[in-house]
Structure 1
């Protein structure tokens, strides 16, 4: 019952944010002119953009497949692709992408994968996923001040905040992994303070949950220490996976017949949006992603093509991902775990 209420809330929240985004994007704009511009786009350039989205989803499935084999669990690549699709679908529709991993753990459990194993794999996926954004953010802060002054000056505070939040998130996860005792002490004291201030009621079950979580973090630490090369490989795949999605905007740029701006600049600008919005409590960064695009891509698309460029870029990079992962989640719902149920 509680899960149904949560799902209904997430759907309503998504629709409200979507409606607000559409209003903000199209209010006061000449829809007829936008349609005319979009009709002139070279569709052939959009095909590799869609392929980038498929590669993005596929990339995580390869990581899951690779890590499961490392842990002596054999799965079909197609099953891992469905796990990946489920994660991206629920991440797209929930605030801060909070629903992705619980959904993946649920479907992995249907395939008889122990929860500690799925939790370990997905935790490493999360750490490397966010670590890519940390690398991008810190690289620009330390070595890309010229790029920031040229393209990002108007949104520099949002970019710096996004970078700082991602650094904090990755640091916190690594502390939880490598110093679980210290992390436990901090969390226990934090909960005690919240209880003292009457923000939380005292519950023994909460402490038990915390202890169980610490066990999972210890398992992750052991795995990271014993499989350093695996982590390096996973990070490399994740880097390729994330930049595949960012590259979709370059193909949109080419679809308009534009030139003069280097591919690395267009791809980096799209990466900056990801860094800036990743930690915000909005499904898919909806609303703020469109706003940032409109602010930093003017030198790339020009004022006339800016909105059509945003429509295609977000349409491919987010809404195509949402639609494709939704279809594959339906497939997962009817296929994952079914064979095992029949065998039983």
Structure 2
């Protein structure tokens, strides 16, 4: 792992430690652990699968969009890139490290930056768009439930929804404005030259503008194929639902009754909308706070902390572990591919010598 990520990892560990301390301090952990131990595996197992399908679902969306561009990739490959993205999103504030890491590994495995960047931007826009649609729908159809569940934290829900709306607007503008992407790339190049991190190079600038032109061609393709985007929207709604339903599996696994599936789905969706844009690695701390507030009336007594531990343990820490394995596999594949590429290059050189 690059050195620049170690600070984020350390910050994440501190957040986890602080959050764990608060949970231990404010709860009877014997009762909580007893509740966790009593959860039924017949319900927990599909919950684990749902959490893993959430990340794998993003990989399938990436695969679908790349295949639409006639780029020969395979579902397992795209799913692995998705887990790599989850790993770096989890350890960086506001999930800023996920897509750059995906672009890097996709480039190393043969997908051009001009193709991967717009595809991942479409995935990001659809992800945020689905949250915005869900957020507005919840206000219209379940406003009373939200007000009762959030109480004094309702402003956090509106903040999260507002930030997602703003980001969707910015991303869509960048994608549909040909001049905007050129100005952004030229501005970044000029800034790096001013900081003496890059030397002025007309050849590099021309290459960058060529990449931007290819990027815009891909964007125009998607704009001209709305059916492809609508299919991806449907896939994104299903992908989001796999994670929202995890809490319902936990609720049933703990043997609780009284709340229906729709209410649990609404509350879990509202939690993600509230914390999704907060500048915290993996939303650690904020997620636990909002979850504990919103689900206080659904999970009584020790079951609230127990459900929180299981939920975060499965949806974040377990998936983070699987993502670390996927990252290790990706690194191993690149290391094995490097000597082969070097040998092929050497044979090609000898042939022309």
- Please give the range of the TM-score, normalised by the shorter of the 2 chains: 0.7 to 0.9
- In structure 2, distance between residues paired with 1:216 and 1:17: 41
Partner of 1:260: 258
Q: Is the 8 A contact 2:8 2:91 kept in 1?
A: yes
- In structure 2, distance between residues paired with 1:205 and 1:230: 39
Unaligned runs of 5+ residues in structure 2 are 345-353
Partner of 1:66: 64
Distance change in 2, residues 1:206/1:23 (3 Å): farther
Distance change in 2, residues 1:135/1:205 (3 Å): farther
Moved more, 328-337 or 126-135: 328-337
Partner of 1:139: 137
SS in 1 for 2:27: coil
Equivalent in 82, 85, 102 of residue 84 of structure 1: 82
Partner of 1:298: 296
Displacement after TM superposition at 1:143 (Å) = 3.1
RMSD value over aligned CA atoms? 2.8
Displacement after TM superposition at 1:159 (Å) = 0.2
- In structure 2, distance between residues paired with 1:234 and 1:321: 23
Distance change in 2, residues 1:272/1:69 (3 Å): same
Partner of 2:128: 130
Equivalent in 241, 248, 251 of residue 250 of structure 1: 248
Equivalent in 138, 151, 166 of residue 164 of structure 2: 166
Displacement after TM superposition at 1:277 (Å) = 1.0
- In structure 1, distance between residues paired with 2:224 and 2:335: 31
Displacement after TM superposition at 1:278 (Å) = 1.1
Displacement after TM superposition at 1:319 (Å) = 1.2
Distance change in 2, residues 1:79/1:323 (3 Å): same
Displacement after TM superposition at 1:33 (Å) = 2.0
Displacement after TM superposition at 1:235 (Å) = 1.0
Displacement after TM superposition at 1:339 (Å) = 4.9
Q: Is the 8 A contact 2:115 2:218 kept in 1?
A: no
Distance change in 2, residues 1:68/1:295 (3 Å): same
Q: Is the 8 A contact 1:148 1:156 kept in 2?
A: yes
Deviations, residues 88-141 of structure 1 (Å, cap 9, x unaligned): 111111111111111111111111111111111111111111111111111122
Deviations, residues 72-98 of structure 1 (Å, cap 9, x unaligned): 111122111111111111111111111
Q: Is the 8 A contact 1:131 1:170 kept in 2?
A: yes
SS in 1 for 2:110: coil
> Are 2:324 and 1:326 equivalent residues in the alignment?
yes
Equivalent in 229, 235, 241 of residue 237 of structure 1: 235
Displacement after TM superposition at 1:32 (Å) = 1.8
Larger Rg: 2
SS in 1 for 2:43: helix
Displacement after TM superposition at 1:304 (Å) = 2.9
Partner of 1:49: 47
What TM-score, normalized to structure 1? 0.88
Unaligned runs of 5+ residues in structure 1 are 196-200
What TM-score, normalized to structure 2? 0.86
